[in-house]
Structure 1
Amino acid sequence: MGEKEGEKKYTIEDLPGVGEATAEKLRENGYDDLMTLAVASPKDLSEVCGIGEGAAIKIISAARKYADVGNFETGEQILERRREIQKLTTGSKNLDGLLGGGLETQAITEFFGEFGSGKTQIMHQLAVNATMPKEKGGFDADVLIIDTENTFRPERIVQMARAKDLDSDNVLRRIHVARAYNSHHQILLAEKALEMAKEFPIRLLIVDSLTSHFRSEYMGRGSLAERQQLLNRHMHDLLKFGTINNAVIAVTNQVSARPDVFFGDPMAPIGGNIVGHTATFRIYLRKAKGGKRIARLIDSPHLPEGETVIQVTEDGITDGV
């Protein structure tokens, strides 16, 4: 219990090696509490603050000690912490069931599929749902959307909000959208999200789409390593945001055809192992007849693979009938 009390008492100035100038640099770059420092990487910290990597490691390890992270825990303690995790409804009982009750906080849920498979529609629906009261499966919270392909439509939010008997003006006020113009801007916006969360109660962060800028800017095998490194950093920033704010992270991803697949579905999500290993839940969306979509859960730490049918209508995402 002493550590937990210490977390409230200590500030970043109390960390060894952090004077006034370093503290100011840390705060300017978004490292303004013990938890953000505790989960930082020494390389990033040394670059933004102009300090040696050795000094950065000392600062991070002290922050971990004060914030009580990075230690081994019993399974019982982890179960207790997982009780903080909440679930956000998708609007479809079928899809909620596939995800074990909805989208988990402190995790990245990736929806991938071809153009027109319903990815952006689901993102709009999640944004509306997060503003709903808790008793309706929402968080009564604000939403951040990083829009990389200019796909956000406030008119669609109004339609979906009215279908749920919500005040559409209030819903729009609680959704904060930033257009990302390239991959570096996208990474910067994910870092800025931590500052936004101090001003607004943000419990859902959406990136639509995760990989489009990375794919168009880093073409060819020569730039693959750099692309994957940046994508890895970006995804860990998103995960850090989810962990610190007990928020849902929902991302969309495109697919590309694999020429070596002769049987079965040749479509694979972009981003390779980096995205595959960092996303906690992965859902593959496919078009079906009459506005229906088939959603298949292909990756989860504890849920079985399976698929279900959902419907994309003017009112939003519902169960496929």
Structure 2
Amino acid sequence: MAKEKKIDDELDSELENKKLTIEDLPGVGEATAEKLRENGYDDIMAIAVASPKDLADISGIAEGAAVKIINAARKYADVGNFETGEEILKRRKEVRKLSTGAQGLDNLIGGGLETQSITEFFGEFGSGKTQIMLQLAVNATMPEEQGGLNSDVLIIDTENTFRPERVIQMAKAKNLDPDETLKRIHVARAYNAHHQILLAEKASDIAKEFPIKLLIVDSLTSHFRSEYVGRGSLAERQQLLNKHMHDLLKFGTIFNAVIAVTNQVSANPAVFFGDPMTPIGGNIVGHTATFRLYLRKAKAGKRIARLIDSPYLPEGEAVITLTEDGIIDGT
């Protein structure tokens, strides 16, 4: 007991100095650390928010040993414990906001897109989802005092919709250097659902080289929808989609980044009155996304954005206009 207490005291001392690497965690030897790093678990926070089963499968250790490693990491990262509301409020002050470029839309979602959260935009083809994503990418490179995050951007493009020419138009409208803006936007084309999941897992590697504060997935569900067809494959699709969503949320938490995703819709034939359109992904996407906005077309290039889900904001609508210069308030 005395020996264990001494080890704990030594660990606490190191924790206070915040110099621990994953090798310093109890039970993590050189071989285990190598396996963890190969699979993206290369810092304390990544291990602290991992599941014991995933860690055990990746490293080849027993699940009980994985639990001990995770608990030690959580002790260092100060996660997984009960906190007072006051402490959470203090931590919430670390959350930053990214402007959409339209004041009405910003007001609707509490001042802009939040870091450490997933914001989902869903709607029919042509409702402006990709245009908003491109605008967010440009805005994120701007200084914080102008509504940006002064950061680089990651885009996982699943439908080949990224157009640098459009980014140049939007950057010029914001008086930004188009070449510098393009250099700060890192795009990866996802060719199938598994490739999309892999890109999200590898996003942390890029975030260690560049100051990434915005991760975009456009679109979240297109590959899952086309590759997993029919009720027989529904359970597998939802399981993969659930993992993907939690990988994205974990990235946002670890790097204090905004996660913005687009989603497709389908018509529900059971709806006889009102809008029959429902987002793809069901409850898996609905429960994991922090903010959900429904985009629909209006006249003269206008789009109506309706906030349908938020942890603390009321439902409401904002009108935006898609222009050559980008997203502006609707009039």
Give the TM-score category using the shorter length: over 0.9
1:28 aligns with 2:38: yes
1:217 aligns with 2:237: no
1:266 aligns with 2:272: no
Instruction: Name the CA shift for 1:318/1:16 in 2 (closer, same or farther; >3 Å).
Output: same
Aligned partner letter, 1:35: M
1:150 aligns with 2:163: no
2-side partners of 1:285 and 1:68: how far apart?
38
Contact 1:6 1:67 in 2 (8 A): no
Larger-gyration structure (1/2): 2
Pairs within 5 Å for 1:222-237: 222-237=232-247
Match of 1:85 among 95, 101, 106: 95
Instruction: Name the CA shift for 1:124/1:4 in 2 (closer, same or farther; >3 Å).
Output: farther
Q: CA deviation at 1:65?
A: 1.4
Aligned partner letter, 1:30: G
Instruction: Name the CA shift for 1:149/1:126 in 2 (closer, same or farther; >3 Å).
Output: same
Contact 1:43 1:53 in 2 (8 A): yes
Contact 1:144 1:206 in 2 (8 A): yes
User: TM-score, normalized by length of structure 1?
Assistant: 0.98
The percentage of aligned residue pairs carrying the same residue is 81
Instruction: Name the CA shift for 1:34/1:261 in 2 (closer, same or farther; >3 Å).
Output: same
Structure 1 gap segments, 5+ residues each: none
Q: CA deviation at 1:4?
A: 9.3
1-side partners of 2:14 and 2:108: how far apart?
36
1:74 aligns with 2:81: no
Contact 1:141 1:174 in 2 (8 A): yes
Q: 2:198 matched to which residue of 1?
A: 188
2-side partners of 1:33 and 1:268: how far apart?
39
Pairs within 5 Å for 1:173-184: 173-184=183-194
Q: CA deviation at 1:45?
A: 1.4
Aligned partner letter, 1:263: F
Q: 2:291 matched to which residue of 1?
A: 281
Contact 1:256 1:268 in 2 (8 A): yes
Instruction: Name the CA shift for 1:155/1:90 in 2 (closer, same or farther; >3 Å).
Output: same
User: TM-score, normalized by length of structure 2?
Assistant: 0.95
2-side partners of 1:264 and 1:3: how far apart?
61
Q: After superposition, give the CA deviation of every residue in 1:54-86 in whole Å (9 maximum; x if it has no partner).
A: 222221111111221100000000000000001
Total equivalences in the alignment: 320
For residue 100 of structure 1, give the secondary structure of its aligned residue in structure 2: coil
Q: 2:179 matched to which residue of 1?
A: 169
2-side partners of 1:122 and 1:96: how far apart?
12
Q: CA deviation at 1:7?
A: 6.6
1:208 aligns with 2:218: yes
1:250 aligns with 2:263: no
Q: After superposition, give the CA deviation of every residue in 1:239-297 in whole Å (9 maximum; x if it has no partner).
A: 00000111000000000000110111000000000000000000000000100000000
Measured on the aligned residues, the alpha-carbon RMSD in Å equals 1.1
Moved more, 21-30 or 118-127: 21-30
1:319 aligns with 2:325: no
2-side partners of 1:273 and 1:21: how far apart?
39
For residue 240 of structure 2, give the secondary structure of its aligned residue in structure 1: helix
